[in-house]
Amino acid sequence: MTMPRRTARRPLAPRVAAPREPVDPARIGRRVVRRRAKGMDAGAAAAALEDARFDARQASRHEDLVDDERRRAELGEWERIDRLLTAAAPGSVYDPDTDDVVRAELAAEAAAAAAREAELRKATRVAAAPTSSRRCAS
């Protein structure tokens, strides 16, 4: 039995490295809270807020946790959701899909992603352009 002959590999097309979005612990914290809060009523949100405040007090006793940006963002988001549900009609539950703050944040993220994508396309075009067109006329 003969083995199939291996063909030479084609070289990969040159690519421009896509800029990575930096990790934002505060944004991660807010998203975690929103997922947990989905479907909660005012009473459940108030209980979760008290738990977050307790966790913040405990963390304040540890030097390495004092500047935890994610924990501060989580506490702030629980406070915001608690205020939102307290002001809402009795029996209302939290839904991030109808939250104006969440909608605005998602719109801003989409706009930033579109801007990054446009910049990447431009960089790709520049990288793919012939070198003779990139020379400066001196």
Q: Is the Cα dihedral 84, 90, 92, 94 positive or negative?
A: positive
Q: How many CB atoms lie within 10 A of CB 84?
A: 17
Contact between 29 and 71 under an 8 Å Cβ cutoff? The reply is yes
Q: What is the pLDDT along the chain (138 residues), one digit of tens a residue?
A: 666 666 666 666 566 555 567 788 999 999 999 999 999 999 999 999 999 999 888 888 877 766 789 999 999 999 999 999 999 999 999 999 999 999 999 999 999 889 989 998 998 888 887 765 555 554
What are the φ and ψ backbone dihedral angles of 6, each rounded to 5 degrees?
-80, 135
pTM exceeds cut of 0.75: no
